[in-house]
Amino acid sequence: MPAHDPQAFLPLKTDALLVLVVLLREDLHGYGIIGEVEERSAGEIQLQTGALYRLLKRLLADGLIREVEPGQVIRGDPRRFYRATRLGEVVVDAEVERLARLVRAVKQAKAGLRPRLA
């Protein structure tokens, strides 16, 4: 059982959700994260380097991601690689369910039904 209630992290901003999703699949460094997020969002989300590192700092502090040891050296530069934690995975699952409920409620409302979020 996670130490934190995943609901406490919701709703996630789109960029945070996508960063967590790509880090569930593989360990990545900053530029790798930027590329994967852009690709998975079909170019809709283009993270700027500074914004990404502020987001990573927050996700680290919240325990949703962690640094992977040891860092790799690429072209002479040390790179920090990140991975989603189990808590990060649980939070992603909770956010996906929250969004699915919201989509169902919108579809019900469009169909003239009284939407239910529960």
- Predicted pLDDT of residue 82: 96
Entry pTM: 0.86
- Predicted pLDDT of residue 33: 97
Three-state DSSP at 112 gives coil
pLDDT (tens digit per residue) in 53-70: 999 999 999 999 999 976
Q: Are 33 and 51 in contact (CB under 8 A)?
A: no
Euclidean distance between CA atoms 77 and 68, whole angstroms: 16
- Predicted pLDDT of residue 77: 72
Residues of the chain with pLDDT under 50: 1-2
- Predicted pLDDT of residue 111: 85
